[in-house]
Amino acid sequence: MNNLIEIAQKQRAYSKVLAKKPLEYRLQKLQNLREALKGEWQHKLAQAMKADFNKGEVEVRLTEILPTLDNIKILRSNLKKWIRPTKVKTPIMLLGSTSYTEVQPKGNVLIISPWNYPIFLTLQPLTNAIAAGNTVIMKPSEHTPETSRVMAELIRSIFSEEEAYVALGGVELAKELLDIRFDHIFFTGSTAVGQIVMTAASKHLTSVTLELGGKSPTIVDNSANAYAAGQRIAWAKFTNAGQICIAPDHVYVHNSKLEDFKKGVVETIQRFYGEHPMKSDDFVQIVNTNHWERLSSMLGESIKEKGELIIGGNASRELRKIEPTVIVDPPKQGALMREEIFGPILPVFTFNELDQPLDEISNREHPLVVYIYSHNKKNIRRIQNNTRAGATAVNMSLIQVANNYLPFGGVGHSGMGRTNGESGFLEFSNTRAVYYQWGLPVNKVLSAPYTQKKLRIVQFIIDKLL
Ligand code: NAD
């Protein structure tokens, strides 16, 4: 702990030095990280993830390294433009002045990340924080110890301790870090821990970004290509064994489309993972025994409840896997609908009228994403207008996150603040307003004593200019 306080103090002091360094310095640091991720560290990180939860190398490169590099590319190409002061308009009554905004680093920031995409969810915010000129302490998850250890080595090879540092440890360490004063906390994880982070941040009035979870619903309406929807949703749900914050949590399918949808889902599971998915190397494990137990008891309970099991239903403690499972029309208040599933179990609810899923979605906490499969523009607009979420993807799932030009984040219980590309950079920056007086200031004209003439001027502005 003493060591951590010391590092945070050093970082705090160094953040003032860093803020004065030229743009080229930040670009070089991003370039160093880029080269490391394109070089030997790519394989080292993939090996670590294999050890942590049997994730295949292709998937690590595709879902962790590639999007981090893409974010670095966007930051490096645009940073010069983003840090330039931006002139804003001047209202006529402030004639004689110029106003602009300029972005400054927040200072010394803390990044706490989860285990499900441990590289991307630690290094992507890091790239945004570095681009914005901050010093950074990262606390990756204790549930991916090997990956966290390798990331710590990688960061040590590029940054001095006073600039960026990876703190290794679990909940106790996270709590200790939350006692320290930072200028911003960027937290990715569960809603429950998000509340703890926000409470801790309030002690120092530290700003927070909360990238949380939730139950992201999907609607497949009566105009959709339900077979294709089934294929895409199966891909999105069973990749990483459903351990993705924006995975479709549950699906509403129009009754007339159920058979096509089921066909698309079942064929996809079999094509991806064969007849015995738990034996497939491409189907990842559940991250640890605790999560496996949570999911297998959820599965056991839901199988006993009413509902049609159309595929899956088994779990293996030894392999730490849960079969890709799809259950049609389980109880709405049942085991699968109490909390975020975050695993390879997909409840599917049938409906006849769109009002039904819309009512249910709007009565729950706002999710990260509402997915829509439809070719009916009126329905798409209606779903958009009647729900709140961090994002919407139409006729596709999951892939919206790969567009680093789109802001990523939640609303209400699914989070606050945005990341990716420019929004990520701004999240770690303070946008400072600058007002520059070069002519006669307005207070000369409009200060006490308030004469009739001054009243007429004010009234003229109200009546004619506004
Ligand atoms: P988690 O909230 O349990 O842990 C996240 C981090 O917080 C870890 O580093 C952990 O050590 C730390 N932590 C845990 N308890 C803490 C406490 N009491 N005080 C301070 N820190 C604490 O989440 P997880 O299980 O690692 O990840 C799964 C959750 O994350 C899911 O809910 C998922 O939806 C969400 N998630 C969200 C996003 C997003 O971008 N919105 C991305 C990935 C995961």
Contact between residue 112 and residue 139 where contact means Cβ atoms under 8 Å apart: yes
pLDDT of residue 271: 97
Active site (annotated) includes residue 6? no
Active site (annotated) includes residue 245? yes
Task: Indicate whether residue 115 lines ligand 1 (CB < 6 A).
Answer: yes
Ligand 1 atom nearest to CA at 291: 25
Task: Indicate whether residue 8 lines ligand 1 (CB < 6 A).
Answer: no
pLDDT of residue 54: 82
CA angle 227, 267, 279 (to 5 degrees): 150
Task: For residues 302 and 349, give the distance between their C-alpha atoms in angstroms, rounded to a whole number.
Answer: 14
Task: Indicate whether residue 415 lines ligand 1 (CB < 6 A).
Answer: yes
Task: For residues 407 and 212, give the distance between their C-alpha atoms in angstroms, rounded to a whole number.
Answer: 15
Q: How far are the Cα atoms of 84, 101, 324 from residue 384, in angstroms, in the given order?
A: 35, 33, 29
CA–centroid distance, residue 189 to ligand 1 (Å): 3
Task: For residues 318 and 420, give the distance between their C-alpha atoms in angstroms, rounded to a whole number.
Answer: 38
Backbone φ and ψ for 465, nearest 5 degrees, come out as: -105, -15
pLDDT of residue 446: 78
- Which of 211, 323, 340, 422 is catalytic? The answer is 211
pLDDT tens per residue across span 209-249: 999 999 999 999 999 999 999 999 999 999 999 999 999 99
Averages of pLDDT over each 10 residues, the chain, 466 residues: 88 97 97 97 96 88 96 98 96 92 98 96 98 98 97 98 97 97 98 97 98 96 98 96 96 98 98 94 91 96 94 96 97 95 98 98 97 98 97 96 94 96 97 94 82 91 90
User: Which residue's CA is the nearest one to ligand 1's atom 34?
Assistant: 213
Task: Indicate whether residue 116 lines ligand 1 (CB < 6 A).
Answer: yes
Tokens standing for residue 100 = 């602009």
Q: Which domains does the chain have, with CATH numbers?
A: 2-212+416-430 (3.40.605.10), 217-409 (3.40.309.10)
Q: How far are the Cα atoms of 283, 330, 346 from residue 302, in angstroms, in the given order?
A: 22, 7, 11
CA–centroid distance, residue 364 to ligand 1 (Å): 21
Task: Indicate whether residue 342 lines ligand 1 (CB < 6 A).
Answer: yes
For residue 344, whether the previous peptide bond is cis, meaning omega lies within 30 degrees of 0, is no
CA–centroid distance, residue 410 to ligand 1 (Å): 14
pLDDT of residue 279: 93
CA–centroid distance, residue 209 to ligand 1 (Å): 13
Task: Indicate whether residue 147 lines ligand 1 (CB < 6 A).
Answer: no
- The residue length of the chain stands at 466
pLDDT of residue 1: 57
CA angle 153, 156, 162 (to 5 degrees): 145
pLDDT of residue 321: 96
**Of the candidates 313, 307, 128, 148, the residue with the CA atom closest to the CA atom of residue 209:** 128
**Of the candidates 130, 145, 119, the residue with the CA atom closest to the CA atom of residue 26:** 130
Burial of 125 (C-beta count, 10 Å sphere; 0-12/13-18/19+): buried
Task: Indicate whether residue 249 lines ligand 1 (CB < 6 A).
Answer: no
